Amino acid sequence: MHTTPANLPKIQDYAIIGDCRSAALVSTRGSIDWLCWPRFDSPAIFAAILDAKIGGHWSITPVEQFHCERSYVESTNVLRTRFTTSSGQAILTDLMPVASEDEKRRMLLPDHELIRRVECTEEQIQFNIDFAPRPNYGARGIHFRKVGNCVRADVGRGSYRLTSSVPMIVTEDRAYVSIQLKQGESAEFSLTYGEESPAVLPILGNAICERIQRSVDWWQRWSERCNYDGPYRAAVIRSALVLKLMAYAPSGAIIASPTTSLPELLGADLNWDYRFCWLRDASLTVRALVRLGYMAEVESFLDWLLHATRLTQPKLNVLYTIFGSKAPEERSLLHLRGYAQSKPVRIGNEAQDQLQMDIYGEVIEASAQFVRSGGHFDRETKNALIAMGKYVAHNWDVADEGVWEPRTGRAHNTHSRLMCWMALDRLIEMQHRGELDGVPFRIFADQRRKIREQIHQRAWNRRLGSYTSTLDGEATDATLLLLAWHGFEPPDSPRMKSTYSRVLEDLGLPHSLLYRYQRNPPEGAFGICCFWRSEYLAIGGGTFREARQSFEDLLRFQNDVGLYAEEIEPATGDALGNFPQAFTHIGLINTAVSLQDRELGRSHEDETSVARGGPPVEKVEQ
């Protein structure tokens, strides 16, 4: 087994900070090893996570051996790292400051800013500060100039400026200093980026503390709006804050993860760029946010969706950039060694050319959930949704790549069929609720019935006693658990229970982990699939106690600040894949809400069309 080298931070050693336009990863060593500015999908200026030697970093690290404890300021994305050494203790605060639109109108603030403040809280402590940005993923050189207490570098159209309260030693491409802080003393740093001159110069001292407090207030106000009040509120709020960081505020798009090429298997080539908006992931995100009451984010995304897909409607692409364009062609950055030698580092994503029929179901289900929560559409959105339904009604029977995006070809995937069934079902539901008009009811109902019959007849394998991942197939995958979640099969039906047993037999791991599918060599347990396993139990596939136990098992795999990557290495519990990953946090939120529903006696069927008073789902002989 390939392992992480001892001198390399593990993926779970990172924490995220961001401002809903870009994000940075900060390690337990106080080093910012990932930052793309000005947007999530811009080239990185710090990419040490992918190559410590040439990727670029900005570290504030105690000189002595240290112990580190981290936490976010409660209900915020403001990170606090407490370093303890034999000589003293200090707290490093990291954040990208945020403010309300009203506050921004009243004050002159830098376009993009990252603040770091280190304060000695006990005795004294010495820090090494090393600022070494490397534009364009380390492929481009940088030339610093010292201007007063600032270090400045012009790169392309933009200008980076590091302002510090301590004088830095500046070389051609690096600024560094070693400082000794005594109890009560602090040092402040502000890194800004702007594409217009004159740049807004950040003020240090008390003004930094004000900006930190303003950000804390903003995030706490946002978190207070969360309407989940169950026993796992802290984990749910953290997940919601992560999802919020993935939403690009200027357009409403939601990205899958802020990183590229963190490996799904150490040392292998399963390294992908997730800094784009997958309609599937984004739709799942808005569904999770609807369940928590964040309607503004949902409306913003649905508006973006309509605008972004305008050029391809009714056909949807798998993924888009944050401004709704086609993602750049996939290419490898050969100059980077990759995380733990996992090559290649890729930017762009080839999956955009795939056919994935399930995304129609995800988008339409997200819209239906919006309607169930009291939302309304304008005429153009209604027409776009109906047009998508017509596309599904004509094309559901085609082979596609499906949810797992294999690069080995197309198949008749059961999950894709399920989601096409759901797309038509939810459109009929929305018509029934009076939100849509002009739905060709007979055509949609007829096709919905045909899909249901096909799944019942061809996705059920009598010999295995299970549904299978493809029609007439022999293998299972984790999406089969969603047959119950989406209301296609009651969770306690004999077929569903038998499928659950088979999925566990094929893909199950100790501690409630689950692979997404069978693969040799196996990758990690897939985060959201593990939560699907828990949630299946929570919605009626098991007892409440079993579900809670399973969920609490999975909570143990979050890192010290409550974050999950895409996958979990079963043997060590280490995080694998891009980090943090919206998909996994969506799973956590949904399962926590389903557990609460179960505890309060609210049926999961309240969220499926039959129990909501929608038109009855047709019965098929089993």
Partner 1 sequence: MNWPSWLLSGFIATIVLTTVSALAQGLGFTRMNIPYILGTIFTPDRDRAKVYGFLTHLGAGWGFSLFYALLFESMGNAGWWRGAMIGTVHATFALVVIFAVLPGAHPRMASERHGPTAAKLLEPPGFMALNYGTQTPIAVFISHILFGIVLGAFYHVR
Residues found near partner 1 in the complex (CB under 8 A): 19-21, 38, 98, 100-101, 104, 111, 218, 222, 244, 247-252, 294, 296-297, 299-300, 303-304, 307-308, 310-312, 323-325, 378-381
Q: Which is nearer to partner 1, 102 or 621 (CB)?
A: 102
Could you please report the per-residue DSSP string of 264-298?
SSTTSS---B--SEEHHHHHHHHHHHHHHT-HHHH
- Least spacing, CB of residue 300 vs partner 1, in Å: 5
Q: Is 422 helix (H, G, I), strand (E, B) or coil?
A: helix
Q: Which is nearer to partner 1, 38 or 573 (CB)?
A: 38
- Least spacing, CB of residue 303 vs partner 1, in Å: 5
Q: Which is nearer to partner 1, 176 or 323 (CB)?
A: 323
| Contact (Cβ atoms closer than 8 angstroms) between residue 17 and residue 23 | yes
Distance CA 497, CA 480 (A): 11
Q: Is 447 helix (H, G, I), strand (E, B) or coil?
A: helix
- Least spacing, CB of residue 174 vs partner 1, in Å: 30
Strand partners, 80: 71, 93
DSSP H stretches of helix in 255-411: 279-292, 295-308, 358-372, 379-395
Distance CA 118, CA 166 (A): 12
Amino acid at position 256, single letter: A
Distance CA 280, CA 419 (A): 11
Q: Which is nearer to partner 1, 3 or 313 (CB)?
A: 313
Distance CA 622, CA 456 (A): 7
Q: Which is nearer to partner 1, 213 or 312 (CB)?
A: 312
- Least spacing, CB of residue 78 vs partner 1, in Å: 13
- Least spacing, CB of residue 230 vs partner 1, in Å: 24
Strand stretches in 148-251, DSSP E: 150-155, 158-164, 169-170, 175-182, 186-194
Per-residue CA distances from 89 to 54, 121, 127, 182, 234 (Å): 31, 6, 11, 9, 27
Q: Which is nearer to partner 1, 325 or 543 (CB)?
A: 325
| Contact (Cβ atoms closer than 8 angstroms) between residue 338 and residue 578 | no
Residue environment code for 420-440, b if the CB has 16+ CB neighbours within 10 A, otherwise e: bbbbbbbbbbbbbeebbeebb
- Alpha carbon 176 to chain centroid distance? 33
- Least spacing, CB of residue 90 vs partner 1, in Å: 28
- Least spacing, CB of residue 65 vs partner 1, in Å: 37
| Contact (Cβ atoms closer than 8 angstroms) between residue 306 and residue 381 | yes
Pairing of strands 57-62, 145-147: unpaired
Residue 272 makes CB contacts below 8 A (sequence gap 6+) with: 260, 261, 264, 346, 349, 351, 578
- Least spacing, CB of residue 94 vs partner 1, in Å: 16
- Least spacing, CB of residue 157 vs partner 1, in Å: 9
Q: Which is nearer to partner 1, 250 or 494 (CB)?
A: 250
- Least spacing, CB of residue 36 vs partner 1, in Å: 14
46: nearest Cα among 191, 165, 248: 191
78: nearest Cα among 245, 206, 192: 245
Q: Which is nearer to partner 1, 99 or 355 (CB)?
A: 99
Per-residue CA distances from 364 to 303, 367, 530, 532, 606 (Å): 13, 5, 24, 20, 17
Q: Which is nearer to partner 1, 294 or 339 (CB)?
A: 294
- Least spacing, CB of residue 239 vs partner 1, in Å: 16
Q: Which is nearer to partner 1, 19 or 523 (CB)?
A: 19
Q: Which is nearer to partner 1, 145 or 310 (CB)?
A: 310
- Least spacing, CB of residue 304 vs partner 1, in Å: 7
Distance CA 1, CA 569 (A): 11
**Tally of helices (H runs) and strands (E runs) in the chain:** 14, 24
Q: Which is nearer to partner 1, 20 or 63 (CB)?
A: 20
- Least spacing, CB of residue 477 vs partner 1, in Å: 34
Distance CA 365, CA 359 (A): 10
- Least spacing, CB of residue 367 vs partner 1, in Å: 15
Strand stretches in 433-487, DSSP E: 460-461, 466-467
- Least spacing, CB of residue 193 vs partner 1, in Å: 12
DSSP H stretches of helix in 459-581: 482-485, 494-507, 527-536, 544-555
Amino acid at position 350, single letter: E
Q: Which is nearer to partner 1, 189 or 320 (CB)?
A: 320
- Least spacing, CB of residue 302 vs partner 1, in Å: 9
3-state secondary structure 179-201: EEEECCCEEEEEEEEECCCCCCC
Q: Which is nearer to partner 1, 308 or 537 (CB)?
A: 308
Q: Which is nearer to partner 1, 149 or 312 (CB)?
A: 312
Per-residue CA distances from 11 to 43, 79, 530 (Å): 20, 17, 19
Q: Which is nearer to partner 1, 77 or 591 (CB)?
A: 77
Distance CA 58, CA 65 (A): 19
